Structure 1
Amino acid sequence: MKMGDAVVSLTINGTSVAVQPGATVLDAVNRLGLPLPQLCKDPDRPALGACRTCLVKVEGMHGFPASCHLPAREGMVVSTNDPVLTRIRNGVLDLTCGMATPSLNRPGFGQLSDACARLGFFQRRHMPWRHTPVDDTKSFFVLDRDACILCGRCTVACNDVQQIGAIALLGRGARTTVGVFGDGSLASSVCTSCGQCVATCPTGAIRPKEAPAPVMREVETTCPYCGVGCGIRLRVRADGRLALIADDVPTNRSSLGMLCVKGRFGTGFIHAADRITPPMVRRNGSWHPVSWDEALDAAAEGLVTNRGRFGALASAKATNEDGYIVQKFVRAVMGTNNIDHCARLCHSPSVVAMLRSLGSGATSNSYDDYEAAGCLMVVGSDPSSNHPVIAVRLRQAVSRGARLIVVNPKRIELCDQADLWLQQRPGTDVTLFNAMARVIIDEGLTNLEFMRNRTEGFEAWRESLEPYTLQFAEQVTGVPQEQIVQAARWYAKPLFAGSCLIWGMGITQHTNGTANVHALLNLSLVTGQMGFAGSGISPLRGQNNVQGCCDAGCLPTHLPGYQRYTPEALEKFEAAWGVRIPNSAGITLTEMIEACLDGSIRAMYMVGENPLLTEPNLHHATRALSNLDCLVVQDLFLHETAELAHVFLPAAAFAEKEGTFTNSERRVQRVRKALDPPGEAKPDWWITSELARRVAQRLGVLSSGFEYSHPAEVFEEMARLVPFLAGISHDRLDREGGIQWPCPTSDHPGTRFLYAESFPIGKAQFVPVVQTAEAAELPDHDFPFLLNTGRILYHWHGGTLTRRVQGLLELAPRLEVAINPEDARRLDIDQGTLVRLTSRRGELTAYAQITEAVRAGEVFIPFVKLAESGANILTNSVYDPFAKIPEYKVCAVMIERLGK
C-alpha cells in the first residue's frame, strides 16, 4: 500500500488493520495472517460464498456473515473467534468433512485437512454413496470425486477464467458431482490440461499425478515458452528437482493468474535424461567429454582460423543478457555483423515492414488493450494453440461485447467464438487486405485527421488500390464480397474503444510476407487504429524472448535498440566497447545457410538454435552445415544440429540462471535462478564471455570488455546504450515487476502503448503493395495438394523441449496431418490411416486426421518433430526478398495411403 492512498481501517480480534477501499473483511483477515478457513475462495478470484467456513462476527450486525462477501467498512469491529461463531464454523467444517472419503492413495485433503487440524478435530465417517473411481485419463492430473466438497472453484477456473468449459457441476442435491459433458472421462472432454482447476482445488480432488514431496522453496520467474511472458512460480522439491506443477504469479500483468499446459506442467525438460552436462569435443568422429578450458580453447581456435568467414546465431529462448553478449562478441571480437536468430524464421517481415512504415518493429499496444477493444482482428494466428493465455483474453473480450474477426485458411478454435471468419486461400492476403482498404476509403470510413497530421504517402497508396475491387478479391481469395465489406466496416468503426490488429506467422512465412504486413499496417493507418487504449498492432511473438533478442541487437541489420549503422551510433558503441566495429549490414540466417555451401561461411557459433529442425528443406540445410570447418553449438541437448558440431558447450536452462526476458507487449521481466545447473553446465552469458576473451586474446583485438560477474551488469551496459531501456534495471524489476519499454528514465513508469503522439520516423508511411503470385510453388498434377504448417498446443516449435516432457508427449504422441473428408474419401483414407506426404524435397509419414478444418485440396501438418518426422523436410527454401524468411506456409505435396 502506497503512502497517501485512501484506506479503510477496521479492528479484527482487537488488532487494527488498514486495507484499500473495495477490499473485503476476508482481505483484512488475511492481511493480519489470521487462520480463518476459506475453502471456496481462490485468492485471485471473486468470492463464491459457497463453503460458509469464513464466517465472522461483526459488532452491531445481525448473524454471522461470510467475510469473503462482506465489504470492509471504516470502523468495523470484527471477531473471528467468538465462541458461538467457532461452534457454528466447526459444525460447517464437520459437515464439509463428511463429503470427503478417506483413502490410502490420497495425501489428506489439502486446505480442508489444514483447517480441521487447526481446530483440533478429525473428519467424520464419509458418506457411502460418495465412492467413485478416480479419473486418471489425463497425463498430468487426476479427478478424485471422493475428495470433492463441491466448492465450485474448479468449475469457475475452467469456465470463467480459462473459458474452456470442460467441467461443470452435474446432477442435483446429494447426487451433485464435478464432471464432463455426457458423464465421460476428462480425456473425452475439451480439457486442454491447462491445470487451472488443479491450482485452485482446495482439497486435492483434482491433483497432480506426481507423488507428493516436500517443497523446500518457491521462486518467481518467467515462463520459458511462448512470447506471452506469463509469470510462473517454480517449486523446488527436497530432492533438488522441480515439482511437476508450476503455479501462476497473479501479479504478473501478462498472465493475470493464468497458465497453459506447457507453462504449468512443461518445465521438466530441464531434468531430461539426455541432458548434456559436460563440455565435449569431437575427435575422429566421436564425442569426448573434456574440461571447460579444453572445450573453449578448441572452439576459439576454430573460430579464429575462420575469422572473416564466420556467422553466429543467438537464441530467442535465452535471456536478453545472453543475446547481448553474443552480438557483442560477434561484432567487437569477430569483426562482423553476421548475427541473427530465429526471428528471421517467424516475424522478420513484421520487423522489416514496421521499421519502414512506423520506425519501430515492436507491438504497439498491451494485452490489456485486447480486452478493452471493440473489435479484434486475428490474422494468420491460432492463439489457442500458440498463445493460449492470449486466447483467453480474446474470449473474455468477446464475452464483454467485442467483435472478433478471424482471418485464416484453416478453421481454428477461435472461429467458434468469432463473429466473422474470412477463409482466404493461402498466399492471397495482400489482395484481401487491399480490398478491405478500398472499402474503407470508398465508404468514407477513414480517419482523416490522423492521416493528414500523422501519415505520408496516402495518395500513391490509394492509387495502388484501384485494381482491388470486391469482385477481383473474391475471385482471388475465395472470400465472399459481403464478408470483406463487413470486416472492413467492423475494423474501421468498432462498437466501442478501438480495434486491435493481431497477426502471426500465417501471414509472415511467405515469399510475400513483408508485403502482407505492409497491407495490414496500411489498414491500421487509414483508420487511425493505434496510439490509444483499446487499439494497436500486435505481431504475436512465437518464442519467449524473440522481442528481447531483437532488442539486444541479434540482427544483422541493426545494432542493439534497432540503431542503424550511422556514424553517430557506431561512435557510441565503439566508445563503449573500445574497438572498431563493422559499419554495414551482415547476412541473415537463411543467407548464412547458403553461404555455408559456397564457402563464404566456414565457421558458425550457434547458441540455443537447431536449424536442422527449423530450416526449410532440411536435406539442403544438412548439406550446408556439413560443409563447415568449425561448428560450435551451445545448448541443453545433443539435437540434430549439435550432432554435426565439432565442439559442444553445455548451457544452463531458464530455471538455472538469472536475467530477463522481454515479451510480446515489450514488457521486460525477471528470470530467476531456482536450481544450480547440472554437472558442468554454465549460463550462456558466462560461456560466451569466456569464449570471447579467448578469441580476443588470440586475435589481439580487445584487451577487456567481457569481465562480467552477474547478468545485472550486462543489462546495465545494454541499458546505457539502448535509450528505450535506459530506465530499467534488475533492481527496479525486482522491486516493481515487469516494465514495458520505452522506459527512458529510472522514474518513468513504462509505456502501455506506442504512437500516442508521434512515430520514431516522424510521420508513418503508407507503403503500396501488390499481389504477386500466391506462392513460389502451387499444386500441380504431380503434387496436387497445398501444404500449410503451424503449431499445436501440446508441443512448442520443433519439440526439442516438449518431446522431453512425458505428459506432453502422451497428449500428442504422433504426427498427424489434417485432411478434408472429401479428399479422404477420394483417397480411401480413414481416421488414423498412416499416410506418406511427399514434396519435391523430401517425404515423411503421418497419421490422417479427417477434419473440415481444412478445405478440400489443402492439408495441414504441425512442424513439431515426432517419430523422426518433421514438416520442414517438405517445405520450400524460397525466401521473401526483403526479410529473407522462408515460405513455410505454402508448398505442393502428394499424399499416399500406406495402411490402416
Structure 2
Amino acid sequence: MNKVMEITEGGESPFVMKTQCPFCSVQCKMQVVEERNAAGEAAYTITALPNAASEGRLCVKGMNAYQHALTGDRLLYPMARKNGKMMRVSWAEAYSIIEERFAAARSQYGRDSIGVYGGGSLTNETAYLLGKFTRVALQSKHIDYNGRFCMSAAASAGNKTFGIDRGLTNALSDIEHARCIILSGTNIAECQPTLMPYFTRAKENGAYLIVIDPRETATAKLADLHLKVKPGMDAALTNGVLKAVFEAGLVDEAFVERRTRGFSDVLNHLESMDMAEIADMTGVSEDEIRAAGKAFGEAVTGMVFTARGVEQQTDGYMSVRNLLNLVLATGKIGRKGCGYGAVTGQANGQGGREHGQKADQLPGYRMIDNPEHRAYVAGVWGIEPDELPGKGVSAYEMMEKVHAGEIRTLFLMGSNPVVSNPNANFVQEAIEKLDFLIVADMFVSETGRMADLLLPVTAYLENEGTMTNLEGRVLLREAMRPAPGETRHDWQVLCDIARLLGRDRWFQYDKAEDIFEELRLASKGGIADYYGITYDRLRREEGVYWPCPSVDHPGERRLFEERFAHADGKAEMVAVENHFPKEMTDGEYPLYLTTGRVLTHYLTGVQTRRSPSLASRDVESFVELHPATARKLRIGEGELVTVTSRRGSIFLRSRYSSAIRQDTVFVPMHWGDTQSVNKLTHEALDPTCRMPGFKVCAVRVEPMY
C-alpha cells in the first residue's frame, strides 16, 4: 500500500489508487480517489490516466469498475457446506478440508481425478502459477480455462499461419494508417469502446471500413460496407471475397511468392467455386462481395480484425485461417498500416493463454507434448521432465469428463462455467455430480452457489500483477488498497495449498514480482518470450511488447516485417472449404440464435451486475429480433417470450431491431439462471481448437402467454 489514509478534522485525507480497468483487453489506466467525510461516508472520483493503448480514455464500465470491488456483496471469508448449508469457517479449517479432500481423491481415483479450471482475467502471475500448481503440486494433467471460449480459434490460426499467436501483429497506432479495414465478427464500439477513435481517425484519413456481422451493431453503423452474413457462413463469405480479389488481379504476387507457401492450393480451390453459390449460401449479394474484394485488394494498406463473432464457431479456426489468407494474398502485413488483429475479449485473454493455463501449453507458449519444451520448463521448475503430466483436454471436454465421473474433484479459480459453457444444463448436471467443488472468487457466482468450499480472493484494486493487452503489450497493474476482510491473493492461496500437499519447496514466493521473475525465465526462448520484461521496466516504460528476449530489447511493436516465425520464414496459406453450421434451422426450430455482449456488461456479469450504475442500464437480458419476424410469430415489443433450442429453454423480454437479419435472433451472454443463453447453445466443438459454436444454433421463439 503506497499511501496510508490519515484522519483529519473534516474526515480522512483522500486515498489515491492508480490502477487499470479489470474488464476488456484494452486495459485502460485510471486513478480512483476515495474521500470520506466526518461520518465515514465514501465518495469516489474516477479519472482516466494517459496511456498508449486507450490514449487516456475510459468507457462506462471502466468508470464504474470500482463499484463491484467495493460492494457489500464481496466474499470476505471462507465458507464450507455443512449439512447442506454454507457456513463461515476459518482459513485453517478450509485448508484442512482441502488437504483431506485432495488426499482422498488422489488415493481413491488417482491424480487426474482432480481438475483445475482457470480464467482469462487472472494476472499473468496467477495464470502461470495455476499451470505450475496443477502440474507440480497436484501432478494432474487436467487444467484449462474459460479463455478457451475466447481466443482459441484465432490463437490456433495465428500459430499455424504465422508460427506465432499475438493478438495484434502491430501496434494500435497503425490503425489510422490503414486505407481499408475489415472488422469480422467484432463489435468494438460496445466491447472495446475506447478503441473506436483509432477507427474514426482512420476513416477521417480516407479508410474504407467493411463490417461483417449478421446484425447492424453500433460498429456496423460506421461501416462503408456492411456484409450482413448468415450466421455460421463466414468462411464461405471470405472465399467469395478472396475469389473477387483473384479475379480482379489484385493479388500481391511478389509478396505471395517470396513470403508464403500454399498459395497455389488456395487459388485452385477458389477457381472451382461459383460466386452465385457463395452469395446464396452467405446471404450476401455478389455485388457486395465483389465490392469488398475490390476495396481491400486495391487499398495500399489494410488491416483485418476478428473477434468472437467469427471465432466462436465450430469452423472458427478455418474461418480465421481464410481471413489470414486474404491478408497474405494482398501482402498486407509486416508494414505500417497493415496487419491482423484478434480483438481479445477478456482482460488478460492474451497473457492468460501464454504461460501454461491451457491443457496443451507450458510457459512461453511452449507445448507440453514437445520433449524439448518439457525439458526446458522442468529445468526451470527443478523437476524431472517425466514428472510433468501429459496433455489434458479443453474446457468443455473437462465438463464432459466431470459428467462421466473421470474428474471427481474440481478446483475453480476466477471463472463461472455454469453460465459460460455451452450446453449449460449439461454442465450444471456435471458439476452436481462432483464429489467436491472448490471455488476461489471475489463473489458467489452461479457456479459458486454450487460449491462445497468457497475461498475469498482479492480484487483488482488489491492484487498486484501484470496483464497483457490485445496488442501483446505487457502492463503492470499496481495494487494500492489493502485486502478486505479475510481475502487472500489468488496466488497466495495456490502457494498455501501446495504447502498442504508437501510441495511447498516449488512455491516459495513473497510477492507477485517473485512469480514474474520465475515466469521470465520459464518463458525465455519461447514464442511468448517475456525474459527482457521486468517490473522496473514496466513502471518506467508503461508497457513492453513481447517477444522481448533481453532487458535491452525494446520489444517487438510490429511483427513479421522481414520474416514469419516458421523455420523457413514463410507464412502458410491453406484452402478452406465452405462450411455449414453443425445445427441448421428446420420447421421446429426455424431461427438462428447468435450471442454476444452489450456495452454495460462483461462476461457472465458476475462483476458488472454488482455495479449499481451498470446494472441499472441493463437490468435484464433480452432477445433481439426483426419486427417482421416478431409480427409473424405474434410477439409484441417488450413481451415476455420463451426461447427454446434442442437443449433447453430460457425466458426473456423481446426487443425489436430492424438491424438484424429476419432469420436470426440475438441474446447477450451476461445473465445466468433462467436467462442464461448458454442453456441453448450447441455442445459441438471446433475439431482443431476445441472452440464451442456459441454463435450458431437453431431455436424457436414463442410468447409466454
TM-score interval (norm. to shorter): over 0.9
**Residue 884 (structure 1) aligned with residue 674 (structure 2):** no
Map Cα deviations across residues 149-188 of structure 1 (whole Å, 9 max, x no partner): xxxxxxxxxxxxxxxxxxxxxxxxxxxxxxxxxxxxxxxx
Q: Helix, strand or coil for the counterpart of 1:887?
A: coil
Q: Helix, strand or coil for the counterpart of 2:704?
A: strand
Map Cα deviations across residues 593-629 of structure 1 (whole Å, 9 max, x no partner): 0001112111211110100110112110011111111
Among residues 279, 282, 288, which one is paired with 1:477 in the alignment?
A: 282
Match of 2:4 in 1: none
Change (3 A) 1:670 1:619: same
Among residues 47, 51, 60, which one is paired with 1:261 in the alignment?
A: 60
Q: Helix, strand or coil for the counterpart of 1:626?
A: helix
Per-residue deviation at 1:830?
2.3
Does the CA contact (< 8 Å) of 1:398 and 1:417 recur in 2? no
Inter-partner Cα distance in structure 2 for 1:354 and 1:546: 15
Per-residue deviation at 1:786?
1.2
Change (3 A) 1:244 1:262: farther
Q: Helix, strand or coil for the counterpart of 2:560?
A: coil
Change (3 A) 1:221 1:468: farther
Does the CA contact (< 8 Å) of 2:498 and 2:504 recur in 1? no
Q: Residue 73 of structure 2 aligns to which amino acid in structure 1? A: D
Per-residue deviation at 1:793?
0.4
Does the CA contact (< 8 Å) of 1:234 and 1:674 recur in 2? no
Change (3 A) 1:685 1:780: same
Map Cα deviations across residues 811-850 of structure 1 (whole Å, 9 max, x no partner): 1112221111111222232221111111121112211111
Map Cα deviations across residues 192-228 of structure 1 (whole Å, 9 max, x no partner): xxxxxxxxxxxxxxxxxxxx99662322222100011
Does the CA contact (< 8 Å) of 2:129 and 2:494 recur in 1? yes
Q: How does 1:841-860 map to 2 (within 5 A)?
A: 841-860=647-666
Inter-partner Cα distance in structure 2 for 1:301 and 1:642: 20
Map Cα deviations across residues 665-697 of structure 1 (whole Å, 9 max, x no partner): 0111111112112110011111111112212x1
**Residue 647 (structure 1) aligned with residue 453 (structure 2):** yes
Match of 1:329 in 2: 133
**Residue 533 (structure 1) aligned with residue 333 (structure 2):** no
Inter-partner Cα distance in structure 1 for 2:280 and 2:44: 52
Inter-partner Cα distance in structure 1 for 2:653 and 2:242: 41
Match of 2:148 in 1: 344
Inter-partner Cα distance in structure 1 for 2:454 and 2:443: 9
Per-residue deviation at 1:867?
7.9
Change (3 A) 1:300 1:353: farther
**Residue 425 (structure 1) aligned with residue 230 (structure 2):** yes
Inter-partner Cα distance in structure 2 for 1:337 and 1:779: 38
Inter-partner Cα distance in structure 2 for 1:262 and 1:311: 32
Does the CA contact (< 8 Å) of 2:150 and 2:346 recur in 1? no
**Residue 637 (structure 1) aligned with residue 435 (structure 2):** no
Match of 2:421 in 1: 615
Match of 1:759 in 2: 564
Match of 2:7 in 1: none
Match of 2:122 in 1: 318
Does the CA contact (< 8 Å) of 1:244 and 1:265 recur in 2? no
Map Cα deviations across residues 379-407 of structure 1 (whole Å, 9 max, x no partner): 00111111111223212221222111001
Q: Helix, strand or coil for the counterpart of 1:574?
A: helix
Inter-partner Cα distance in structure 2 for 1:868 and 1:897: 16
Does the CA contact (< 8 Å) of 1:813 and 1:866 recur in 2? no
Q: Helix, strand or coil for the counterpart of 1:747?
A: coil
Match of 2:112 in 1: 308
Inter-partner Cα distance in structure 1 for 2:560 and 2:93: 51
Inter-partner Cα distance in structure 2 for 1:779 and 1:456: 38
Per-residue deviation at 1:893?
1.3
Does the CA contact (< 8 Å) of 2:238 and 2:322 recur in 1? yes
Per-residue deviation at 1:703?
5.5
Match of 1:717 in 2: 518
Q: How does 1:803-842 map to 2 (within 5 A)?
A: 803-842=609-648
Q: Helix, strand or coil for the counterpart of 1:725?
A: coil
Inter-partner Cα distance in structure 2 for 1:228 and 1:814: 26
Give the alignment's Cα RMSD to 1 decimal.
Answer: 1.8
Q: How does 1:364-403 map to 2 (within 5 A)?
A: 364-403=169-208
**Residue 504 (structure 1) aligned with residue 270 (structure 2):** no
Match of 1:247 in 2: 47
**Residue 451 (structure 1) aligned with residue 256 (structure 2):** yes
Q: How many residues align?
A: 679
Does the CA contact (< 8 Å) of 2:140 and 2:389 recur in 1? no
Q: Name stretches of at least 5 consecutive residues in structure 1 with no aligned partner.
A: 1-211
Q: Helix, strand or coil for the counterpart of 1:713?
A: helix
Per-residue deviation at 1:526?
1.2
Per-residue deviation at 1:464?
2.1
Change (3 A) 1:215 1:450: farther
Inter-partner Cα distance in structure 2 for 1:466 and 1:296: 64
Map Cα deviations across residues 244-264 of structure 1 (whole Å, 9 max, x no partner): 4421111x1111011100001
Does the CA contact (< 8 Å) of 1:254 and 1:367 recur in 2? yes
Per-residue deviation at 1:537?
0.8
Among residues 286, 289, 292, which one is paired with 2:88 in the alignment?
A: 289
Q: Residue 216 of structure 1 aligns to which amino acid in structure 2? A: P
Per-residue deviation at 1:886?
1.3
Alignment TM-score, normalising by the size of structure 2: 0.93
Per-residue deviation at 1:241?
8.8
Q: Residue 269 of structure 1 aligns to which amino acid in structure 2? A: H
Change (3 A) 1:835 1:416: same
**Residue 492 (structure 1) aligned with residue 292 (structure 2):** no
Inter-partner Cα distance in structure 1 for 2:573 and 2:308: 22
Q: Residue 591 of structure 1 aligns to which amino acid in structure 2? A: E
Inter-partner Cα distance in structure 1 for 2:41 and 2:478: 16
Does the CA contact (< 8 Å) of 1:409 and 1:423 recur in 2? yes
Map Cα deviations across residues 10-50 of structure 1 (whole Å, 9 max, x no partner): xxxxxxxxxxxxxxxxxxxxxxxxxxxxxxxxxxxxxxxxx
Inter-partner Cα distance in structure 1 for 2:261 and 2:253: 12
Q: Helix, strand or coil for the counterpart of 1:476?
A: helix
Does the CA contact (< 8 Å) of 2:209 and 2:222 recur in 1? yes
Does the CA contact (< 8 Å) of 1:245 and 1:264 recur in 2? no
Q: Residue 340 of structure 1 aligns to which amino acid in structure 2? A: D
Match of 1:237 in 2: 35
Change (3 A) 1:243 1:518: farther
Q: Residue 119 of structure 2 aligns to which amino acid in structure 1? A: S
Per-residue deviation at 1:868?
4.5
**Residue 275 (structure 1) aligned with residue 62 (structure 2):** no
Q: Name stretches of at least 5 consecutive residues in structure 2 with no aligned partner.
A: 1-9
Match of 2:5 in 1: none
Q: Residue 819 of structure 1 aligns to which amino acid in structure 2? A: L
Match of 2:162 in 1: 358
Among residues 466, 469, 475, which one is paired with 1:660 in the alignment?
A: 466
Among residues 345, 353, 374, which one is paired with 1:570 in the alignment?
A: 374
Map Cα deviations across residues 408-458 of structure 1 (whole Å, 9 max, x no partner): 111111222211111111111111111211222222211222222221111
Between 856-865 and 466-475, the greater mean CA deviation after superposition: 466-475
Match of 2:576 in 1: 769
Q: Helix, strand or coil for the counterpart of 2:616?
A: helix
Match of 1:546 in 2: 349
Does the CA contact (< 8 Å) of 1:552 and 1:561 recur in 2? yes
Among residues 232, 235, 242, which one is paired with 1:437 in the alignment?
A: 242
Does the CA contact (< 8 Å) of 2:135 and 2:389 recur in 1? no
Q: How does 1:409-424 map to 2 (within 5 A)?
A: 409-424=214-229
Q: Helix, strand or coil for the counterpart of 1:732?
A: helix
Map Cα deviations across residues 626-676 of structure 1 (whole Å, 9 max, x no partner): 111122111011111112222211100011111111110011111111211
Match of 1:693 in 2: 499
Per-residue deviation at 1:461?
2.2
Among residues 509, 514, 518, which one is paired with 1:708 in the alignment?
A: 509
Q: Helix, strand or coil for the counterpart of 1:656?
A: coil
Match of 1:732 in 2: 537
Q: Helix, strand or coil for the counterpart of 1:465?
A: helix
Does the CA contact (< 8 Å) of 1:236 and 1:674 recur in 2? no
Among residues 556, 559, 574, which one is paired with 2:359 in the alignment?
A: 556
Map Cα deviations across residues 689-748 of structure 1 (whole Å, 9 max, x no partner): 1112212x1xxxx45111101111111110112132111111111122111111111122
Does the CA contact (< 8 Å) of 1:779 and 1:892 recur in 2? yes
Does the CA contact (< 8 Å) of 2:380 and 2:521 recur in 1? no
Inter-partner Cα distance in structure 2 for 1:878 and 1:564: 25
Change (3 A) 1:691 1:825: same
Match of 1:862 in 2: 668
Inter-partner Cα distance in structure 1 for 2:536 and 2:95: 32
Inter-partner Cα distance in structure 2 for 1:222 and 1:591: 33
